Amino acid sequence: MKPVKLRSVIFDMDGTITRFNLDSKGVKLTILAELEKLNHRSPDMTERSSILTLLKQMKDRLDPETYEKLRNQFYGLLEEMEVRAAQETTFHPGVLDTLRELRQRGLLLGLVTNNSRKGTDISLERLGLNGFFQVVVTRDECQEMKPNPESLEKALKELNVRTDEAIFVGDSVNDIIAAKEAGLSSVAVSSGSASMEQLISYEPDYILSSLNDLPSLIGSF
């Protein structure tokens, strides 16, 4: 799918713009230990489950009040680890120049991340990107995280652009799914934890080995 007229580029953060340095395993072990303590852990809740899978399993099996309470508790744990990771986050090589070039072309830039607002703000300040994006949507502004399309739909609304005027760039399978669900063209970048083969299997509209190839891709629209 090719945008009719490209006005905006929306980005994922960890693994796409910045190096992914969150201790996901540590987060999962903490969540699993808490579920075990509360007698809410089931046999299929394992270390191999993603954080999003664990949250979905909880939502499917717990009453809404209990789920909301536990989710907020786990979001707090996640935020603590994200804040620590944000103190050390760095750009992928060349990414800042790429972002500047896109801005110089007059494109509206958005950021959509499953991270907390606090961790995201620390990362943006540390990297000198405060005010760089016209809109920043974190999990704290949404009921559901990617791959649910809610955060992308919110970004499009705030940017005042249509789905055929924007693309979403991310490094994960969840980013591809979210873009498809939101009706956006998806650009997958193999700079995160997902392999090129995994990304290809979910059929993104475009796939790049480096975010630095994005200006050339956009120039071909």
- Summarised one tens digit per residue, pLDDT across range 155-184 is 999 999 999 999 999 999 999 999 999 999
Give residue 24's pLDDT band: very low, low, confident or very high (50, 70, 90): confident
- Cis? peptide before 93, omega within 30° of 0: no
How far is Cα 68 from Cα 52, in angstroms, rounded to an integer? 14
Domain edges within the chain:
8-20+90-219, 24-86
Check residue 27 and give its pLDDT: 80
pLDDT digits (tens, 9 = 90+) for 54-65: 888 888 888 999
Tell me the average pLDDT of the chain. Answer: 92
Check residue 16 and give its pLDDT: 95
Indicate the class that CATH gives domain 8-20+90-219.
Answer: alpha beta
128-151 mean pLDDT: 95
**139 Cβ neighbours under 8 A, 6+ residues apart:** 75, 113, 114, 115, 116, 145, 151
Phi, psi (deg, nearest 5) at residue 106: 85, 15
Strands in 185-189's sheet, in edge-to-edge order, are 135-137, 108-112, 8-11, 166-170, 185-189, 206-208
**Residue 108 pLDDT > 80, yes or no?**
yes
CB of 30 closer than 8 Å to CB of 208: no
| Conformational region of residue 128, where left means phi above 0, alpha means psi within -120 to 50, and beta covers everything else | left
Structural tokens at position 115: 């991270």
